[in-house]
Amino acid sequence: MRSDATRAHYDRLAGTYEENWIYSPALIEWTTEGIVQRLRPTSTTVVLDVGCGTGLYSRGLAVHAKAVVCADPSEGMLSHLPADERLVPLRAGAEDIVAGRVPLPYDSYDAILLKEVVHHLPDLPATLAGLTRLLRPGGRFLVSMLPQDLGYPLFDAALRLFRRLQPDPGTVAGALTDAGLDVEISYDGFPVTFTRERYIEMVRGRYMSILSTFSDAELERGIDEIRGRYPGPDIRFAEPVAFVLGVRR
Ligand SMILES: C[S@@+](CC[C@H](N)C(=O)[O-])C[C@H]1O[C@@H](n2cnc3c(N)ncnc32)[C@H](O)[C@@H]1O
C-alpha cells in the first residue's frame, strides 16, 4: 500500500483497532513483557515507539520509562493514545523522522521500538539505519514482527500475499547489523482462541492491513474458505512473534 493509502487504512481502523486484540488482554500483557524484557526501560530511559498506533505497547513501556515518544503518521491512531504526560505524541512516519522533516522531542534515545511496522517501510535498510543513528551508546533497538509463515487461520490467498510482502526477520537483523548493532533474533508464540464467528468478523473488518487489498467479494469467498476449514465453534492458533534485538555497544 502507498503511504497515503496506509494512513487512510489506519485512520479508518483506529476506532476498532484495539477491539481485535483487547479480546485477549493476556496477549497484550505477554507481548508487553517480551518487549520490556528486551528493551529494559528504567526511570531514566527515553523510548521512541515508531508506528506506535494507539499506543498499546507504549503504555507498558511508559510504566518503567522516563518518557515514550509515540510516533505515527495516522492522526486517527494517535488520537487513541491515553492522556499520560510520559506518552509524547508525534505525528510522523519513520521516514519523516529519518529525514529530519519533524522536530523531535529528544535528539537521541535509549530504546527504539518498531512493533508490527517494518512491513510498511519501503526502504527498510535506509530507514532502520537512519533510526539507529538516534540511538545513544548502549541503546537497544527492538523490532517485533510477525514471521513470514504466520500459521493464522486465514484463507490461502491472504497467507500467500502476506508471505510475499512480509520482510524476513533475517533481513531486518542484517540491516541492523549493517547499521552497527549487535543483533540477535528470537521467536515465540502465544496460544489464542477465538470463536470462529468472532475471528470471521475480524477478517471482515480487515483487521490486518493486507486484507484491505481484497475486494468485499474476494473477502467473502475467503471467509467461506475459513468456514470450510474450521467447522467447529472455536479457532485456536499460536500468535507468533519474531523479536529482532539490536544493541549499540
Ligand atoms: C499494525 S499497526 C501497529 C501499531 C502498534 N505498534 C501496535 O503494535 O499495536 C501499524 C502502525 O504503523 C503505522 N505506520 C504505517 N506506516 C508507517 C511509517 N512509514 N512509519 C511509521 N509508522 C507507520 C500505522 O499508522 C499503524 O499505526
Query: How confident is the chain (249 residues) per 10-residue block, as mean pLDDT?
Result: 78 76 80 98 98 96 98 96 97 98 98 96 97 98 96 96 95 98 97 93 89 96 97 94 96
CA of 247 to the centre of ligand 1 (A): 22
pLDDT given at position 180: 97
Q: Is residue 217 part of a domain?
A: no
Number of domains in the chain: 1
| 212: its cell numbers | 484491505
| CATH number of the domain bearing residue 111 | 3.40.50.150
CA of 169 to the centre of ligand 1 (A): 17
pLDDT given at position 23: 55
pLDDT given at position 197: 95
| 9: its cell numbers | 487504512
pLDDT given at position 14: 82
Q: How far is CA 63 from CA 36, 46, 59, 107, 108, in A?
A: 10, 12, 7, 22, 20
- Please give the Cα distance from 74 to 96 (Å, whole number): 13
Q: Is residue 224 part of a domain?
A: no
- Please give the Cα distance from 100 to 80 (Å, whole number): 25
pLDDT given at position 208: 86
Q: Is residue 136 part of a domain?
A: yes
In one-letter notation, the amino acid at residue 105 is P
Q: Is residue 200 part of a domain?
A: no
Q: Is residue 203 part of a domain?
A: no
Using most ligand atoms within 8 A of CB, pick from 2, 21, 57, 72 the residue to mutate for ligand 1. Answer: 72
Rounded to two decimals, the pTM is 0.91
Task: Note whether 191 and 139 are within 8 A (CB).
Answer: no
pLDDT given at position 217: 98
Q: What residue ranges line ligand 1, CB within 6 angstroms?
A: 3, 6, 10, 50-53, 56-57, 72-74, 77, 93-95, 115-117, 120-121
The dihedrals phi and psi of 12, each to the nearest 5 degrees, come to -70, -40
Domain that holds residue 12: 3-192+237-247
Instruction: Please identify, by atom number, the ligand 1 atom nearest to the C-alpha of residue 21.
Output: 9
DSSP state of 122: S
Q: Is residue 135 part of a domain?
A: yes
pLDDT given at position 20: 66
| 49: its cell numbers | 515507539
pLDDT given at position 156: 97
Q: Is residue 180 part of a domain?
A: yes
Q: Is residue 36 part of a domain?
A: yes
